[in-house]
Structure 1
Amino acid sequence: MNEPDRIDQIVSAVERIVSRDGVQTVSMRAVAAEAGVSLRLVQYYGKTKQDLLTTALHRLSERSVQHWQDSLASSGDSPRHALEAFLVAALPLDEERRAFHRFGVSLEQLAITETHGIRVIYQEHLSQLAAVIAPYIHATTRDADIDLAYELLAFAHGLGSLVMTGTLTDAQAHSLIAGYLDRIHA
């Protein structure tokens, strides 16, 4: 197996562990077992748990930003439709999206509680997402304020957590999305 594939195998194991069991359960041994590789190999690619989590967050950020750029660009017909598609796609309505939400929330918690590289990477990630969303908000509201892009991200994140905890049903979440977009489209 070539080096990029090996790194992917190890980082994917980190993602699965965090999504399933939380950040606190990540250890070099747990990653090696999940990836089906030796402990030495994991240690070769990540000297510490922090290294593994930082690499995983970098990968999450890159994939996430690219995913949302592609998703928004392909929604085509109207900026409002693109924003609605973004919000609906962010809802954790299937196991893949629930795992992604759990992973993101776990790393967000880590970004809040530590001051090393994870916080900076997470902040950069949110800034990149806001920059991707901002043109669609501007086209919908005629307001170029980046704060609206952050507001939409906060809405999407909070809505996802409310769905994940069973506080809101899928139908309620869709209704809130429609109402939110009606309000910002004034």
Structure 2
Amino acid sequence: MPKVVDHEERRRELAGAVWRVITRDGVAHVSMRTVAAESGWSSGALRHYFATRDELLAFACDQVLARVTARILALEPHGTPEEMVRTLLLETMPIDPERHTESSITFAFLVLGLSDPALAAVQRKMLIDMSDLCQSLTRHLLPDASPQQQLSVARRLNALVDGLSVHVLAGHLTPAEAVAELDAHLETVRVS
């Protein structure tokens, strides 16, 4: 009887190999050859699933976004609005090894999308998803504010989370310091 192959599971395995290469060596070292070696596959077998490096990278990034989204949707945060917003935003920040890897991959895509039109769509999706999350959280945090006020606060919150994440990835802040800065910011949003 022929072996049944779960092609989506195979694609996810390859995405995991991409993540490991990015985490260990950086996005510049991702190639069909390095991912094949990392996954234990031949380059030909890998090309059965992904025709190009860009296609492979885009899928790997989509998988990161899917993981983060699934985690956020599975959460049932409790407490004050600030505590709930904090809980959800921390899922997007590099505060532990898993989220550090995810953030490394998503921020690598920001750079790739600037120079590669094929990857720009992935970049736009990441930016839109994070913007939408911040807008949704801000509506919850400040339900009585005007839509313009909510949008302004959401944009600042988005910029803060992105900035703190970049500083953690670059080693300028520890995860604990980034969390403390997020907490300080949420405290000021509450009183304003």
Same fold (TM over 0.5): yes
Does structure 1 residue 160 correspond to structure 2 residue 165?
yes
Alignment match, 1:44: 48
Other structure's SS at 2:117 match: coil
Q: Is structure 2 residue 71 aligned with structure 1 residue 92? A: no
Structure-1-length-normalised TM-score: 0.86
User: In structure 2, the residue corresponding to 1:166 is in which secondary structure?
Assistant: coil
Q: Which residue of 2 aligns with 1:121?
A: 122
| 1:20 correspondence with 2:21 | no
1:76 — aligned with what? Answer: 78
Gaps of 5+ in 1: none
Q: Does 1:141 align with 2:142?
A: yes
Preserved contact between residue 32 and residue 42 of structure 1 (Cα < 8 Å): yes
User: Residue in 2 aligned with 1:110?
Assistant: 112
Q: 1:60, 1:5 → 2: CA distance?
A: 15
Q: Distance in 1 between matches of 2:92 and 2:54?
A: 27
**For residues 9 and 179 of structure 2, what CA distance do their matches in structure 1 show?**
38
Q: Distance in 2 between matches of 1:134 and 1:41?
A: 42
The whole-number CA distance in structure 1 between the counterparts of 2:86 and 2:176 is 14
Distance 1:8 1:129, change over 3 A: same
Q: 1:131-169: CA deviations, max 9, x gaps? A: 233232112223333343333222112112222333224
- Identify unmatched segments of 5+ residues in structure 2: none
Moved more, 1-10 or 139-148: 139-148
Is the contact between residue 19 and residue 99 of structure 1 (CA under 8 Å) also seen in structure 2?
yes
Specify the SS of the correspondent of 2:88. Answer: helix
Superposed counterparts of 1:166-177, under 5 Å: 166-177=171-182
TM-score normalised per structure 2: 0.83
SS at match of 2:64: helix
Q: List per-residue Cα deviations over 1:88-141 (Å, max 9, x = no partner).
A: 44442332222222111111111122222x212221232223323323211222
Q: Which has the higher contact order (CA 8 A, sep 6+)?
A: 1
Q: CA, structure 1 residues 60+89, in 2 after alignment: closer, same or farther (shift >3 Å)?
A: closer
1:62 counterpart letter in structure 2: A
Distance in 2, matches of 1:56 and 1:170, equals 24
Percent of pairs with identical residues: 24
Code of the residue aligned with 1:58 in structure 2: it is: D
Equivalents in 2 of 1:146, 1:122: separation in Å?
A: 21
